[in-house]
Amino acid sequence: LIKGDLQCMNALDVLRAIKDGLDQHPSITKEERERYLNFISIARKEYDILAKSEVQKAFVYSFEESAKTLFENYLDNIEAFCNWSKIRDPLTDEEMEPDERLMRSIEEQIGISENAKKAFREEILIRISAYSRKGKKFEYNNHDRLREAIEKKLFTDLKDIVKITTSSKTPDESQLKRINEVCARLIDGHHYCPICANELLKYVGSLLNR
């Protein structure tokens, strides 16, 4: 693991070192080696999920206004749905049915089934009412599952932007700005060092391009 040019170490470095070490350990049997390799494979898959989640949160943070807009849109629609009413198009002033496709696209991010959607939507409205009675404003991050759904939905919508941003060898000015914002969030909010933050972005970019 310790190399002269190694400035810091991340999880992938550790997994690679363990894997390489298995070949240099004569006392490990073939069966044990296969078992350990399977453990490494499981750890790698779990790390991939964690890595994408960390970058997802960092990107969503840099698109905070987009997350809030998506959240407000969702609330408007579930309120209309639960009250058997319609919503008004802000541009045309036309009355429309609640956007079921939008609501489901968010709810499906966290596995809310068709049968459970009504209860989930009512739960959100009850939570909003409880906050309102206390004189507080309900934000999307006040509800863990809704926050996760909003973040995943937004990340899905932004996936192409994330792929282009993280995999570009010669990022333009706007991409570079986005990279710096996301790296800053990883450093400040998730305690990565600058080197590991950049490596994480590159790695997640490669995952998304597979």
Q: What are the extents of the domains in the chain?
A: 8-47, 64-157, 158-210
Q: What pLDDT is recorded for position 52?
A: 87
What parts of the chain have a pLDDT lower than 50? none
Cβ neighbours of residue 131 closer than 8 Å, sequence gap 6 or more: 137, 138, 142
Q: What pLDDT is recorded for position 107?
A: 96
Residues 98 and 105: their CA atoms lie apart, in Å, by: 13
Residues 33 and 29: their CA atoms lie apart, in Å, by: 6
- CA dist 89 → 26, 73, 104, 200 (Å): 70, 11, 19, 41
Beta bridge partners of 95: 88
Q: What pLDDT is recorded for position 91?
A: 73
Beta bridge partners of 96: 87
Q: What pLDDT is recorded for position 3?
A: 60
- What amino acid occupies position 154? L
The Cβ of residue 24 has, within 10 Å, a number of other Cβ atoms equal to 7
Residues 152 and 145: their CA atoms lie apart, in Å, by: 10
Please provide the size of the chain in residues.
210
Residues 120 and 122: their CA atoms lie apart, in Å, by: 5
Report residue 90: phi and psi, to 5°: -65, -20
Q: Please check whether residue 78 is in contact with residue 124, taking contact to mean a CB–CB distance below 8 angstroms.
A: yes
